[in-house]
């Protein structure tokens, strides 16, 4: 599923995000969404979320 649409993301789902410090390499970090930080319904680089670990990143993949 597409991580650029806010409607696809809810707290508690498993996602892969790119953290701010990993934007140059594109390294993905997996985790569970704690809360959604992006207010708009769509973001071209991915919806920004906070993981349960406290890390913040943009969703690139939604794990099913």
Q: What are the Cα distances from residue 47, in Å, to 13, 29?
A: 13, 14
Residue 20's contacts (CB-CB under 8 Å, 6 or more residues apart) are 56, 57
Structural domains of the chain, count: 1
Q: Distance between CA 62 and CA 64 in Å, rounded?
A: 6
Residue 44 falls within a domain, yes or no? yes
Domain harbouring 38, CATH code? 2.30.30
> Which domain does 21 fall in, by range?
6-62
Residue 1 falls within a domain, yes or no? no
Residue 28 falls within a domain, yes or no? yes
Residue 50 falls within a domain, yes or no? yes
Extract the residue ranges of the chain whose pLDDT is less than 70.
none
In this prediction, residue 53 carries a pLDDT of 98
């Amino acid at each position: 599923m597409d991580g650029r649409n806010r409607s696809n993301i809810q707290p508690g789902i498993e996602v892969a995000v790119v953290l701010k410090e990993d934007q140059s390499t594109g390294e993905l970090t997996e985790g569970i969404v704690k809360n959604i930080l992006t207010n708009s319904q769509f973001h071209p680089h991915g919806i920004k979320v906070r993981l349960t670990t406290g890390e913040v990143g943009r969703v690139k993949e939604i794990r099913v």
